[in-house]
Structure 1
Amino acid sequence: MTHINVLDPGASPLDYYGFELRRHREAAGLTQKQLGEIVNYTGSLVGQIETARRVPTPEFSERVDAALGTDGLLSRLVELVLRSQLPAWFQQVAALEARATEICTFQTFAIHGLLQTRAYAGTVLGALDQTELDDRTAVRLARQRILEKDEPPVLWAILSEAALYQEVGGSEVMREQLAHLLSFEHSRSVNVQILPFSAGAHAGFQGSFNIYRFTGDPAIVYTEGYGIGHPTANPNTVQDCSLRYDHLQASALSLRDSAELIRRLMEDRYGERLA
């Protein structure tokens, strides 16, 4: 049996979450199995989360908060937990995403993480490393919660047409991913544009990049390489990338034409029959 004193609540946000989960469960007089039955998870999973061996999800946290009457405590903590589980070099970027009022991204060969489905994200993350894949996928998807805020950031996503052709995880995964992109067609805050092959030479040949804009703070440009990120507020870099983004938007298809291209591709390449 694992005892509570093996867990140091000050060691990490994940340990603190586990400590609080166990404390509130025991105060309610429930075993791990009993709590699991109430929230429709296994008692084993409850135990793994209590001992910081598994990462909790927002859904798990919401159910446990309701079951234990913790007034949203775990739902608040899980945001810190999930951010802490991101690679160290990416945690600053996640913080930028969380407080940005506008995010502009250009992606050359992959769908941006804020727009990925679970299957697509899991395939990308598991390409070379299958360890703790479910947890790492959940952590990536948790970033998307910023799009569900009462006042979400405005997201402009320009995707190279190549990203739609790069078959990640097979046809079924791609059909689901492209359908997910189409789900934002009438969104007020998420805008997806496709840079078609026919655009030819364009302003994004140097690679993918993001621009984060804030209220009252300078904009930040972010690029990344293998295992390292490069955020910068250098005014010259921000100005250059902002100009490049304007040119990319001018070369990209309109929102409506982008959606039509995605629909055609779903049918022609991935076998989706659309009405």
Structure 2
Amino acid sequence: MTHISILDPGASPLDYYGFELRRHREAAGLTQKQLGDIVNYTGSLVGQIETARKLPTPEFSERVDAALGTGGLLSRLVGLVMRSQLPAWFQQMAELETRAMEICTFQTHVVHGLLQTEAYVRAVLGAMDKENLDDRTAVRLARQRIFEAEEPPVLWMVLSEAALHQEIGGRETMRGQLDHLLSFEDNPRINVQVLPFEAGEHAGLQGSFNLYRCANDPDIVYTEGYGSGHPTANPDTVKDCSLRYDHLRAVALSIRDSAALIRRVMEDRYGEQLA
């Protein structure tokens, strides 16, 4: 138990979470095993989270908050913990996602992380590196909790048709991912448009990019390179990318026609195969 005695709550959000979990558990007079039994997790997992060796999940946090009567403390902290585990170059943008009123994204080869399923996330993140894949998957999925906010952002995603055909994670994973996209068809805050192959040359040929619009901050354009991210509030860049995005939406299929194409690809390419 040496790790517990030297845990520094100021070292990181994960350490602070573990410190608070231990403090509230001990105040309730419970052992790690007893708390684990109450929330249906192992005492070992409770201990690993208390010593910052394991990431907490939102579900774990909600159960422990209820069991210990913390007033939602751990559920509020878990988002900060998850963002702190993202690559350093992306943490600023993950924070921006939580403040944005509108997010506009153009994606050339993969579905945007905010709309990825768990299986799709695992396939994307595990393509070259399977180390700590469970935690890395949970961290990416945690970003999607912005849609559970009282006033969630409006998301527009223009997705190249190529991303529908790029078989990531196998047929079952792709079928689940495309079905997930179809689940937003009637959601006015999450809008998916497909840029069809027939569009030919288009305003997004330079690559994927995101636009973030916030109430009290300048608009931000974000692009990614290999192992790095590039945000900018340069007015000329923002103006250029905004114009490009308008043109992309104009030549993309409508939301209804996009759903029809997604449904067709899902059935034709990833549907059940007869023996």
* Count of residue pairs the alignment pairs up: 273
CA distance in 1, matches of 2:66, 2:217: 38
CA distance in 1, matches of 2:177, 2:158: 15
The reply to whether residue 68 of structure 1 matches residue 93 of structure 2 is: no
Deviates more, 1:214-223 or 1:104-113: 214-223
Structure-1 residue corresponding to 2:115: 115
Identity %, equivalent residues: 79
Structure-1 residue corresponding to 2:156: 156
Structure-1 residue corresponding to 2:209: 209
Large movers: runs of 4+ above 3 Å: none
| 2:252 aligned partner, one-letter code | A
SS at match of 1:8: coil
* Deviation for aligned residue 1:97: 0.8
Structure-1 residue corresponding to 2:77: 77
CA distance in 2, matches of 1:219, 1:10: 32
1:175–1:272: 8 Å Cα contact kept in structure 2? no
* Deviation for aligned residue 1:32: 1.4
* Deviation for aligned residue 1:247: 0.6
| 1:89 aligned partner, one-letter code | W
2:107–2:209: 8 Å Cα contact kept in structure 1? yes
* Deviation for aligned residue 1:132: 1.0
| 1:224 aligned partner, one-letter code | E
| 1:162 aligned partner, one-letter code | A
| 2:267 aligned partner, one-letter code | E
TM normalised by structure 1 equals 0.97
CA distance in 1, matches of 2:148, 2:265: 28
For structure 1, the 5+ residue unaligned runs are none
Structure-2 residue corresponding to 1:19: 19
Structure-2 residue corresponding to 1:124: 124
1:18–1:49: 8 Å Cα contact kept in structure 2? yes
SS at match of 2:201: coil
* Deviation for aligned residue 1:25: 1.0
Structure-2 residue corresponding to 1:56: 56
TM normalised by structure 2 equals 0.97
* Deviation for aligned residue 1:6: 2.2
- CA shift digits 1:75-110 (9 cap, x unpaired): 111111111111100001101111010000000000
Structure-2 residue corresponding to 1:142: 142
RMSD: 1.1
* Deviation for aligned residue 1:2: 4.1
- CA shift digits 1:151-177 (9 cap, x unpaired): 111100010001111111101111111
Alignment of 1:86-235 (within 5 A): 86-235=86-235
CA distance in 2, matches of 1:133, 1:196: 33
CA distance in 1, matches of 2:162, 2:188: 26
The reply to whether residue 34 of structure 1 matches residue 34 of structure 2 is: yes
CA distance in 1, matches of 2:33, 2:237: 54
Distance 1:3 1:90, change over 3 A: closer
Distance 1:65 1:153, change over 3 A: same
1:266–1:272: 8 Å Cα contact kept in structure 2? no
- CA shift digits 1:3-44 (9 cap, x unpaired): 531211111110010011111111112121221121111211
SS at match of 2:270: coil
CA distance in 2, matches of 1:163, 1:81: 31
- CA shift digits 1:171-210 (9 cap, x unpaired): 1111111111011010020000000111111110000000
